[in-house]
Every structure is written in C-alpha cells, then in structure tokens.
Structure 1
Amino acid sequence: MAIPDNLRTNFQTLLRAAGDGNLALMECQDTQTGEPRFVICAVGRDGSDYVMTPFGHLVEGNPYDAYVPPI
C-alpha cells in the first residue's frame, strides 16, 4: 500500500520539527474515551503564542503488540 501524499508531507514536517528541536510531548485527553494520551506535537509560533500541532500518541504497553506490519 502506498503512503498517501498528505501523510508523507506530515512526516516531513515532523522530521523538520525534530531537527529544529521543536517537538514536545504533551499529556492530552482522548476525545472518544476520556483516557489520557501522551501526544507527540510539533511546536510552532503564532506571534507570541505557541501552537502545538499533534502528530500522534505514544502507545501504552508494548508497541510490538499494537501493530502488525504490512504483508
């Protein structure tokens, strides 16, 4: 399965933020379950305000149990 262009663009943004030291790990609340999630965010600025752009959350437990690689 090919990776969609918008996801490739988001990944490049994430890599750029990491290279610039502009990543943060934020505790957020899952909108569906209300459970806490630890979310990887790129940090930007809008004037004097910080803007956090979420990219994904860290997996609870063993991440190898959460995903199956493509066949």
Structure 2
Amino acid sequence: MAIPDHARTNFNTLLRAAGDGNLALMECQDAVTGERRYVLCAIGRADNGDYLMTPFGHLADGNPYDAYLPPDPRDPDTFIPNSDDGGSP
C-alpha cells in the first residue's frame, strides 16, 4: 500500500522541523472527547512575529504496539491481525 503524497509531505515537514530545532510537544485538549493529548507540532513564525504551532498528530496513549497494526509483508494491501483476534502473523 503506497503512502499518500500528503502524508509523505507532512512527514518531511516534521523531519525538517526537527532538524531545525522547530518541533514541539504541546499539551492540548481533544476537540471531540475532551481528553488530554500530547501533540507533535512544527513551530513557525507569522508575518507579525507571533509563533505558529502547526499540529501534525498526537502521541499514542498507552502502549503504541497495542494501538496499531503493521502492514503484512506478504500482502502490502493488508495488515497483520492482532494476536487477540485469533489471527496469526
């Protein structure tokens, strides 16, 4: 499965921001659930000199290995099922 261009562009922006020292972790409130989220942000400057925080995503709560299923190397259009699903990798 190919990574879409917008995701690749955002990732490259994050790498550039990190390399330039312009990456921040900001505590925010989830707009839907109201939960606290720790959000990765690129830091920029507005024309008037104010800082701009551009959010790119939040850190996974709990164990990130439980939150995501990796792509199946045998079939890149599918994902390896969670062992709790009764499936096998």
* Aligned residue number for residue 5 of structure 1: 5
* Aligned residue number for residue 53 of structure 2: 52
* Aligned residue number for residue 64 of structure 1: 65
* Aligned residue number for residue 28 of structure 1: 28
The ranges of structure 1 where at least 4 consecutive aligned residues each deviate by more than 4 angstroms after the TM superposition are none
Q: Unpaired runs of 5+ in structure 1?
A: none
Q: Tell which has more relative contact order, 1 or 2 (C-alpha 8 A, sep 6+).
A: 1
Structure 1 length-normalised TM: 0.96
Identity level (%): 76
- State the one-letter code of the partner of 1:52: M
Structure 2 length-normalised TM: 0.77
Q: Unpaired runs of 5+ in structure 2?
A: 73-89
